[in-house]
């Protein structure tokens, strides 16, 4: 759901602008792996539910990190950079007819897709804290709610994962269409951190956060998850 500049020929790495920092890329791929694990562990039987819960705690920590990083991270990772107004998003959609102006980072639609992912995953991890299989395993906060509420949140937990799968399918489809129709490679930049094409004269100046800021954000995120589990 991200769009980059497609200007000029492919050149050396130093001629391609840096658009994604290491924390953002690490978040992206680690989250992808963990979501895959959560799907698998939920279908492997009761013996894996403990590890399923651990994966949920890891995802919750990542989500806390991404929320923090959305305010103090590098420019392309900040919410202020990619969450656009409805009017601007609609203007972007209409611009497809005459060719889309290159963007560095998430385009307006991609930005709202990121927001949708974060909300869906927060709902998933939040409900998982209260969910129960009514057999052997319950979330760490299940004891704080009644049986009916726990069952309701468990139902939402299961239903919401189908929504997450739909969002993943939409994201993968968009990435493929960007490559096939527009010729824009969105996977490689999320690996290397650099755009697939050279820097045009009017490219924006992108600022990047210090590595220690990311480490502090991750530590605070882990602390937040730990505190929740102590309730």
pLDDT confidence of residue 134: 76
pTM of the model: 0.88
What is the rounded distance in angstroms from the CA atom of residue 84 to the CA atom of residue 203? 19
CB 185 within 8 A of CB 179: yes
CB 37 within 8 A of CB 167: no
**pLDDT tens column, 13-30:** 556 788 999 999 999 999
Confirm whether 4 is domain-assigned: no
Interacting residues of 158 by C-beta distance below 8 A, sequence separation 6+ = none
Identify the DSSP state of 44. S
Confirm whether 42 is domain-assigned: yes
Confirm whether 74 is domain-assigned: yes
Q: Give strand pairing partners of 194.
A: 18
Please name the residue ranges forming H helices in 83-210.
86-94, 108-128, 147-180, 187-192
The parent domain of residue 80 ranges over: 13-229
* CATH number for the domain harbouring residue 184: 1.20.950.20
Confirm whether 2 is domain-assigned: no
Mean pLDDT (whole number) for 159-177 = 94
Confirm whether 64 is domain-assigned: yes
CB 188 within 8 A of CB 29: no
Confirm whether 8 is domain-assigned: no
**pLDDT tens column, 57-102:** 999 999 999 999 999 999 999 999 999 988 888 888 777 766 555 5
| pLDDT confidence band for 168 (50 / 70 / 90) | very high
Six-digit token string for 58: 């890891």
R_g of the chain computed on alpha carbons: 20
Mean predicted lDDT score pLDDT of the chain: 87
CB 31 within 8 A of CB 135: no
Confirm whether 72 is domain-assigned: yes
Q: 2 phi and psi, to 5 degrees?
A: -115, 150
Residue 106 DSSP SS3:
strand
Structural domains in the chain (count) = 1
Confirm whether 1 is domain-assigned: no
What is the rounded distance in angstroms from the CA atom of residue 1 to the CA atom of residue 106? 7
Six-digit token string for 40: 């698998």
Q: What is the dihedral of CA 85, 88, 91, 95, to 10 degrees?
A: -130
| pLDDT confidence band for 11 (50 / 70 / 90) | very low
pLDDT above 70 covers a percentage of the chain that reads 87
């Amino acid at each position: 759901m991200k769009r980059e500049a497609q200007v000029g020929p492919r050149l050396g790495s130093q001629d391609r602008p840096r658009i994604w920092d290491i924390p953002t890329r690490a978040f992206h791929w680690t989250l992808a792996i963990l979501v895959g694990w959560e799907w698998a562990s939920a279908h492997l039987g009761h013996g894996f539910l403990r590890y399923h819960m651990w994966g949920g705690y890891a995802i919750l920590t990542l989500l806390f990190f991404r929320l923090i990083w959305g305010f103090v991270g590098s420019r392309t990772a900040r919410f202020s950079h990619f969450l656009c107004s409805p009017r601007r998003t609609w203007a972007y959609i209409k611009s497809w007819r005459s060719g889309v102006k290159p963007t560095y980072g998430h385009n307006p639609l991609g930005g709202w897709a990121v927001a949708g992912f974060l909300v869906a995953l927060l709902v998933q991890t939040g409900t998982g804290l209260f969910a129960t299989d009514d057999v052997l395993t319950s979330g760490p906060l299940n004891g704080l709610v009644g049986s009916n509420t726990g069952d309701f949140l468990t139902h939402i937990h299961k239903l919401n994962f189908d929504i997450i799968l739909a969002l993943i399918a939409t994201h993968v489809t968009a990435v493929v269409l960007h490559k096939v129709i527009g010729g824009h490679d969105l996977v490689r930049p999320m690996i290397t951190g650099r755009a697939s094409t050279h820097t045009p004269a009017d490219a924006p100046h992108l600022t990047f956060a210090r590595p220690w800021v990311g480490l502090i954000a991750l530590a605070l995120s882990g602390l937040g998850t730990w505190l929740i589990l102590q309730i």
